[in-house]
Structure 1
Amino acid sequence: MDIDAIIQKISIWALPVLLAIILHEVAHGWVAEKLGDNTARWMGRITLNPIKHIDPFGTILIPLGLAIMGSPFLFGYAKPVPVDFRKLNNPKRDMIWVALAGPVTNLLLALASTLLLALVIQLPTALFWIIEPLALMCQASIIINMVLCIFNLIPLPPLDGGRIAVGLLPGPLAWQLSRIEPYGFMIIVALLFLGVFQSVIGPMVMGSSYWLIGLVLPV
């Protein structure tokens, strides 16, 4: 991929990726605060200021590397918002709602992007110079938000799906699953490297994304 194509791809994907990963984390902190834990608020993480959320590796290097390699879509993550589950009103139950907040936010953003795409393509054709980049950004937003929604629902700690599973499972099983968390990131990297996640969730992500886009644009 030449440098112009890389710059063009970054210009289309940068804002949707930043909004998707930042609002995902803010949602965790906001719901935790409503349920009794103000750790994220105290640490200044319930904010849209990207500086507070940027992780050099997950927010910059991974998306940039994917763009350079010509990946069909970009992916990234922000610094996790700190949550002290012991401070929640009902730790086991409320853990589920805090974890769900991120993926649900991404789903809502994907739906909002679909609606925005429908509005963009109704603009007068004289505004073609703004219609195309906005339409591409809306489509990028749909894809990245569905990636984050579905990927994070995998029932493996420390992903949100893992925390949801820990909250739903009975005590002994929840404890056994929670013990995986220190090794969770390494397991995720290994499964990504082996292509397991791509083959399992890839069709779900692209299928749901293209279905939403297809509601607005003919495919």
Structure 2
Amino acid sequence: MFIETLLTDPLLFIRLIIILVVSITIHELAHGIVALSQGDNTPQVTGHMTLNPVVHMGWESLIFLCLVGIAWGQMPVNPSKFRYHKLSNILVSAAGPVSNLGLASIGIAGLYLSKDNGLVSQEFLYLAAQINITLCLFNLLPIPPLDGFHICSEIFPGLKWLENSYFGLFAMMIIWITGIGTIFFVVSQWIICKLVPTLSVCSF
């Protein structure tokens, strides 16, 4: 289990927890910021416009993260308040993955500039970039309740019925059991190595 990393490599465990908690928190805040810009004040009214990860993730998600390395977050929105229903829904849904792409870009930029001086190591920046590219790609999958599904269902309304079916649950189980999700880590590493080929992890 993921928790075993705490014993085998405590520093890696701490780095992963920090990166994932910050990334998920920013991801959810991005949804909220765009929702507010589209006329929905639900994120503000419910107290979710905060950097407190417990508000966005909840204790269950945080505990699950520490145990198995998987977590989730939630930003309450009310699509009926959106200024432009379809377009606003797409913008709000896309905001999360875009924020992860932004965080990944910061990590990659840091890799160009860092000298691994112990303050912000290249390993930390690499992990931050890889995890956020992975989160971006994963969340864009057209599977409910992921952001990619909400985007696709607005473009193709005929897909909306899947939201109330077991499709999402079965799809997630297949990804989890088969390990297909690891392909996102491979793709993210490939992207980073194309941009920063001098990294030691890119010598393959």
Hey, what does 2:134 align to over in structure 1? 147
- Please show how residues 38-117 of structure 1 align to structure 2 within 5 Å: 38-66=41-69, 75-78=70-73, 80-117=74-111
Q: Distance in 2 between matches of 1:33 and 1:112?
A: 25
Q: Report the CA distance shift for 1:53/1:2 in structure 2 as closer, same or farther (over 3 A).
A: closer
Verify: 1:179 aligned to 2:161, yes or no.
yes
What is aligned with 2:154? 167
Change (3 A) 1:107 1:216: farther
Q: Indicate if the aligned counterparts of 2:145 and 2:168 stay in contact, CA closer than 8 A.
A: yes
In structure 2, the partner of 1:192 is: 175
User: Runs in 1 of length 4+ with deviation above 4 angstroms?
Assistant: none
Report the CA distance between 1:149 and its aligned residue.
Answer: 0.1
The one of 10, 13, 16 equivalent to 2:16 is 13
**CA-to-partner distance for each residue in 1:153-181, whole Å, 9 max, x for gaps?**
01122110001001112xxxx1x311111
137-146 or 3-12: which moved more?
A: 3-12
Q: What whole-Å deviation, never above 9, does each CA across 1:175-219 have from its counterpart, x for those lacking one?
A: x3111113354124322234264265454333224434x345252
How far did 1:18 drift? Answer: 1.1
Unaligned runs of 5+ in 1: 67-74
State the alpha-carbon separation in 1 of the partners of residues 61 and 145 from structure 2: 15
> Highest relative contact order (Cα 8 Å, sep 6+), 1 or 2?
1
Distance between the aligned counterparts of 1:102 and 1:8, measured in 2? 27
Assess if the C-alpha contact under 8 Å between 2:108 and 2:192 holds in 1. Answer: no
Partner of 1:157: 144
Aligned length: 197
Question: What is the TM-score with the length of structure 2 in the denominator?
Answer: 0.84
Compute the TM-score of the two structures, normalised by the length of structure 1.
0.79
> Which blocks of at least 5 consecutive residues in structure 2 are unaligned?
none
1:168 counterpart letter in structure 2: I
| Percent identity for Structure 1 against Structure 2 | 28
1:152/1:159 contact within 8 Å kept: yes
**C-alpha deviation, 1:62, in angstroms:** 3.2
C-alpha displacement of 1:99: 0.5
Paired AA for residue 136 in structure 1: E
Instruction: Give the counterpart of 1:211 among 170, 194, 201.
Output: 194
| Distance in 2 of aligned mates of 1:207 and 1:217 | 12
Note if contact 1:157-1:177 (Cα within 8 Å) is conserved in structure 2: no
**Aligned twin of 2:33:** 30
